[in-house]
Amino acid sequence: MKVKLTVCTVPCGAEAYVSMAVPVGARDEAKEFYGMAHFLEHVLFKGTGRFPGVDDLHKTIIGHGGGMNAYTTHEVTNYHAHVPATVDAIRDAIRVVLSMTTEPLLSAEAVRREVEVVQQEIAKYKDIPDRTLYDR
C-alpha cells in the first residue's frame, strides 16, 4: 500500500495544507464490515500516543489558528489539516497527521462513542437519494 503525505502552501503563502492520503476506502471492505474505513476515520481523531487526550489533536491545530478534518470515499481515506504557513504550524500539522495514522490509541471509550456518531451519519446519507444511488 502506498500512502501519500502532501504538504503545500497556497499561492499567497499565508496558509499551508498537510494531507495524508491512505488508499483504503469503502470498496476495500467486505460486506459484513461495510463502513469500517469511515468508522476508523472517526476514531483516529480521538487520541494518539503523542497526543493522548481526546481533543489534543484538534487543540494543537486550532492553537495555530488552523483546522483539520478527514473524509472517506470508495477509493481513499484522507486526513488533512490547514494551518498558517509558519515553520512551527506546519511542523505541528505534520506531527498531528502522522501521529493519527501511525499511533492511534483506539480506546474502547472512543470506539463506543463513535459507533453512534457514524450510525447517525449513515442514516443522514440514506435520506439523500443521489448519495444512495452513488453508493449502490
pTM score: 0.84
Q: Return the half-sphere exposure (C-beta side, CA atoms, 13 A cut-off) of residue 129.
A: 0
- In percent, the amount of the chain with pLDDT more than 90 equals 62
Looking at the predicted structure, is the pLDDT value of residue 125 above 80? no
Q: Give percent helix, percent strand, percent coil of the chain, each to the nearest 5.
A: 45, 20, 30
CB 91 within 8 A of CB 37: no
* pLDDT digit string, tens, across residues 47-93: 999 999 999 999 999 999 999 999 999 999 999 999 999 999 999 99
pLDDT score recorded for residue 86:
95
Looking at the predicted structure, is the pLDDT value of residue 118 above 90? no
pLDDT score recorded for residue 132:
67
Higher pLDDT, 97 or 110: 97
Higher pLDDT, 8 or 131: 8
pLDDT score recorded for residue 18:
97
Residue numbers annotated as active site? 41, 114
Q: How far is it, in rounded angstroms, from Cα 89 to Cα 30?
A: 38
